Structure 1
Amino acid sequence: MPKQYQTVAGRPMLAYTLAAFDACSEFSQTLVVLAPDDHHFDARRFAGLRFAVERCGGASRQASVYNGLLALARFGARADDWVLVHDAARPGITPELIRKLVAELRDDPVGGILALPVADTLKRVAQAMPDVAAPAGGEETRIARTESRDGLWQAQTPQMFRLGMLREAIERARHDGHDLTDEASAIEWLGHSPKLVQGSLRNFKVTYPEDFALAGAMLSAHA
């Protein structure tokens, strides 16, 4: 089962995102973008929350976001409306974080994202090398060098931009043959500099199997 539907602290992971945005009455619509062949989504599991669904997901995040922007336009969203893109694998998002982002960016000419300064030491990995100590002559991973973490931030979501600007940015990136991994990268591709708004450790992305237990403990503590 896709991770966004797995149960964490008694609820599907996606429910936490939908509940956070539902609590923010300033939003006119929350759109859930699904893959056309997604057979796991069951709207009854999210009863009482405001959202619409479009089965317009693409082969990549960039394609799914772009198709979602087109769907929002069909719902009546204008090019100068703000749109926030959030990853359902970040169940720690809260109404307070969302409102903080909106307050920081509502008058910004570009928009921006939640992010955290990098705290850990960063290591650049060398090309895999033969491991002479391994019984089967396997490969080992070794450090090539330590990278400076000065000025580095870890991107989170939501990422907030004007619908028209984001749509144009993705179109430009696609025309140039680039499949970018977040919305800020697309805006940067247009030559703009998105603003960084300090996020929270609780808004981490559930990626590895052990992350489910961490997310469950965190969400249970804040229930």
Structure 2
Amino acid sequence: MSWALVPAAGSGRRFGGEVPKQYLHAAGKPLIEHALDALLAHPRIDGAVVALAEGDPRWPGWTSLHGKPVIACIGGGERADSVLAALRALPDGVADDELLLVHDAARPNLRGDDIDRLIDAAMICADGAILAAPVRDTLKRADAEVHIAVTEPRGGLWRALTPQAFRRGLLLRALEAARATGAAVTDEAMAVERLGLHPALVEGREDNLKVTTPADLALVEFLLQSRLSS
């Protein structure tokens, strides 16, 4: 049994506008619906828990998709708070050693083969696994005046993507430990790393984009429409 956790309580401040980015439309559907479709259409995922902002007026009220359960819960102010809330809203039958996939609500172009390879890797690595992409661009560090201070070596650097896959017990322990110390963790792998563990990196498709800007939305629209027409 594998469940998906989808933190969707954010307001999308970086994107701008009144509509949270997970509810922006691309290829005829909100981004969150594309994300949930990709997860729940996969045969190795049994259900999803979505963490929402309190009183979210845009949530369509789904209780199932693709014949699988969708559970809604109230998230928190930060990503880690929402993932913790989703963990606690899982059905009682989901054991501590069951695999959970945490996926961004505004990352709509997830492919099934990436899910397969992620689950396979996380089943082997006790520390979990994440989809990621090697950094291919030259990296520049800026100074206070936004001039180039130095060129940073990119060898060994990867961009973290989602889903990120961990056993339920490990993920709960990692996020609770981060909260107890007041650590600001920006993804689930960072919380697990703080325990001294080393999740596996699984190279994922570069078009598994997270929408954070209007340009991202336009590109995702193109990618999704291309898939629909192929």
> TM-score scaled to structure 2, two decimals?
0.86
Answer whether contact 1:32 1:51 (CA < 8 A) is retained: no
Aligned partners of 2:38 and 2:204: how far apart in 1? Answer: 15
When structure 1 is superposed on structure 2, of 26-35 and 153-162 the one drifting more is 26-35
Which of 87, 104, 108 matches 2:121?
104
Unaligned stretches of 5+ residues in structure 1: 130-140
Kindly provide the CA deviation profile for residues 114-154 of structure 1, in whole angstroms up to 9, marking residues without a partner as x: 00000111111111x3xxxxxxxxxxx21111111110000
Structure-2 residue corresponding to 1:144: 149
Structure-1 residue corresponding to 2:216: 211
Answer whether contact 2:109 2:208 (CA < 8 A) is retained: yes
What displacement does 1:203 show?
A: 0.4
Q: How many residues align?
A: 210
Structure-2 residue corresponding to 1:154: 159
**1:157-168 paired onto structure 2 within 5 Å:** 157-168=162-173
Amino acid at match of 1:99: D
Amino acid at match of 2:25: T
Structure-2 residue corresponding to 1:132: none
Aligned partners of 1:200 and 1:142: how far apart in 2? Answer: 32
Answer whether contact 2:73 2:86 (CA < 8 A) is retained: no
Describe the shift of the 1:154–1:196 C-alpha distance in structure 2 as closer, same or farther (beyond 3 A): same
Percent identity for Structure 1 against Structure 2: 42
Aligned partners of 2:211 and 2:67: how far apart in 1? Answer: 22
What displacement does 1:37 show?
A: 2.4
Aligned partners of 1:49 and 1:4: how far apart in 2? Answer: 22
Unaligned stretches of 5+ residues in structure 2: 1-18
Answer whether contact 2:209 2:216 (CA < 8 A) is retained: no
Q: Does 1:61 align with 2:79?
A: yes
SS in 2 for 1:175: helix
What displacement does 1:107 show?
A: 2.3
Which of 20, 23, 30 matches 2:38?
20
Structure-2 residue corresponding to 1:133: none
Structure-1 residue corresponding to 2:58: 40
Aligned partners of 2:27 and 2:208: how far apart in 1? Answer: 16
SS in 2 for 1:19: helix
Which of 183, 200, 203 matches 2:205?
200
Kindly provide the CA deviation profile for residues 89-125 of structure 1, in whole angstroms up to 9, marking residues without a partner as x: 1111122211121122212211110000001111111
Q: Does 1:85 align with 2:102?
A: yes
> TM-score scaled to structure 1, two decimals?
0.89
Kindly provide the CA deviation profile for residues 18-68 of structure 1, in whole angstroms up to 9, marking residues without a partner as x: 111121122221111111121111136x86563423232001001100111
What displacement does 1:155 show?
A: 0.1
CA root-mean-square deviation: 1.7
Amino acid at match of 2:137: D
Aligned partners of 2:130 and 2:117: how far apart in 1? Answer: 11
SS in 1 for 2:83: helix
SS in 2 for 1:30: strand
